[in-house]
Amino acid sequence: TERTLAIVKPDGVFGNYTSSIRKIILDSGFSIQREATLHLDEDSVRSFYAEHSTKSFFPNLVKYMTSGPVLIMVLQKANAIADWRTLIGPTDARKAKSTHPDSIRAMCGEDLERNCVHGSDSYESAAREISFFFTQTFSE
Ligand code: ATP
């Protein structure tokens, strides 16, 4: 079994998508191991998305991610990382609406920036991102 970090971003929370997203998560066989609602500050977002710090969209990403509360969840099941990425769909929510209409980003995202959810993209990212938000007091 594997863990991944999911985030419902501010547009997803403001749009009242958290309960439908939670239902999709549970119906898809994940268990929600930890969850927290947080309002991230700029330093947290800069540090979480450090790999994008030199990109031109970074200032907008910081504004977006600090614009309201986010719901952070640790999801667990076999193949959790890849399966959650499949469920959320492509980064560009506008493209997702045509190419992956059943994806979460097609349901609640808007475009390349405002894509309503996050998912860890590798085992290493998942480990880093989970410990970024949660002290790992749970066992395998
Ligand atoms: P996430 O890491 O949030 O799951 P991702 O892995 O699909 O998304 P990344 O390339 O890691 O996408 O980008 C992180 C986030 O930065 C995206 O989810 C999106 O909100 C924003 N973003 C990425 N590329 C752009 C861009 N070209 N213009 C504006 N925002 C962008």
pLDDT tens, residue by residue, 36-52? 999 999 999 999 999 99
Q: Is 113 in the pocket of ligand 1 (CB under 6 A)?
A: yes
What is the predicted pLDDT for the residue at 81?
98
Count of residues making up the chain: 140
| Residue 139 alpha carbon to ligand 1 centre in Å | 31
Cα 88 to Cα 25: distance, rounded to the nearest angstrom: 10
- Asked whether the predicted pLDDT for residue 101 surpasses 70, the reply is yes
- Is this prediction's ipTM beyond 0.90? yes
Q: Is 61 in the pocket of ligand 1 (CB under 6 A)?
A: yes
Q: What angle do CA 26, 95, 102 make, to 5 degrees?
A: 30
What is the predicted pLDDT for the residue at 135?
82
pTM of the model: 0.95
- Asked whether the predicted pLDDT for residue 99 surpasses 90, the reply is yes
Point out the catalytic residue in the list 39, 52, 100, 118. 118
Q: Which residues are annotated as a binding site for ATP?
A: 9, 57, 85, 91, 105, 115
| Residue 26 alpha carbon to ligand 1 centre in Å | 25
Give the CATH number of domain 2-133; options: 3.30.70.141, 3.40.1190.20, 1.10.40.30, 3.40.47.10. Answer: 3.30.70.141
In terms of Cβ atoms closer than 10 Å to its own Cβ (0-12, 13-18, 19+), residue 113 is middle
Please state the domain extents for the chain: 2-133
Q: Is 119 in the pocket of ligand 1 (CB under 6 A)?
A: yes
Active site residue 100: no
Nearest CA to ligand 1 atom 29: 113
pLDDT tens digit sequence for 102-115: 999 999 999 999 99
Percent of the chain with pLDDT over 70: 96
Q: Residue 137 — very low, low, confident or very high, per pLDDT cuts 50/70/90?
A: low
Mean pLDDT of 73-80: 98
Residue 85: CA count within 13 A, CB half-sphere: 12
What is the predicted pLDDT for the residue at 136?
59
3-class secondary structure for 62-86? HHHHCCCCEEEEEEEECCHHHHHHH
- Asked whether the predicted pLDDT for residue 140 surpasses 70, the reply is no
